[in-house]
Amino acid sequence: MYKKIIENIKPELEKSIKFFENELQKARVSHASPSLVEDIEVNCFGSSFPLKQLGAISCPQSNQIVIQPWDKSYIEPIEKAIGQSGLGMSAVVDKDLIRLNLPLLTEEYRQSLIRNMNEKAEQARRTIRHWRESAWENLQEFFKEKKITEDDKFRGKDELQKMIDQSNDKIKELIEKKKKEIE
């Protein structure tokens, strides 16, 4: 019975880690990547669309991203959205293309990236702690209702902690990998 409680939070822990991993992919490192801009929201014709739905995104050079909108009418809204995105890139319109040149990584920007990563990691850890507390409360409730034994309650607590530790280790591993990319 206690295993079911623990199994129920497993997908939630995996979602937290996957979300954190996606956030890390958006952080700009020393080379260009479509993931830096593909989720930028573009207001077009009164609706909001992610950039990846409005054109093809490629990286012909390590410091350049090229966006080829599927319709010329998308160029101006895309250019505006990139300017407002806070990525520090300026869009240059070249006929039917939009070119983004990535600035060089300064030490100040690297430090800012690391701070931002640590904040996002802490958010992921908070979510994981929330799920741990929720599962522990369920285990205690089942024990009070005599649905599980005291031994099962503590076995559940140990298994739960093991799963939480694995999730936190994965977050730590992702941060270390990203720090190496930045440096």
Per domain, the residue ranges of the chain are 2-25+106-182, 31-101
The topology under which CATH files domain 31-101 is: Gyrase A; domain 2 (3.30.1360)
The topology under which CATH files domain 2-25+106-182 is: Topoisomerase I; Chain A, domain 4 (1.10.132)
- Tokens of residue 170, six digits: 């994965």
Task: Give, for 85, the enclosing helix (H) or strand (E).
Answer: none
pLDDT tens-place string over residues 153-179:
899 999 999 999 999 999 999 888 887
Q: Are strands 91-94 and 64-69 parallel, antiparallel or unpaired?
A: unpaired
Q: Which of 4, 160, 115, 59 is nearest to 67 (CA)?
A: 59
pLDDT tens-place string over residues 3-49:
888 888 899 999 999 888 878 776 655 567 677 777 778 787 778 88
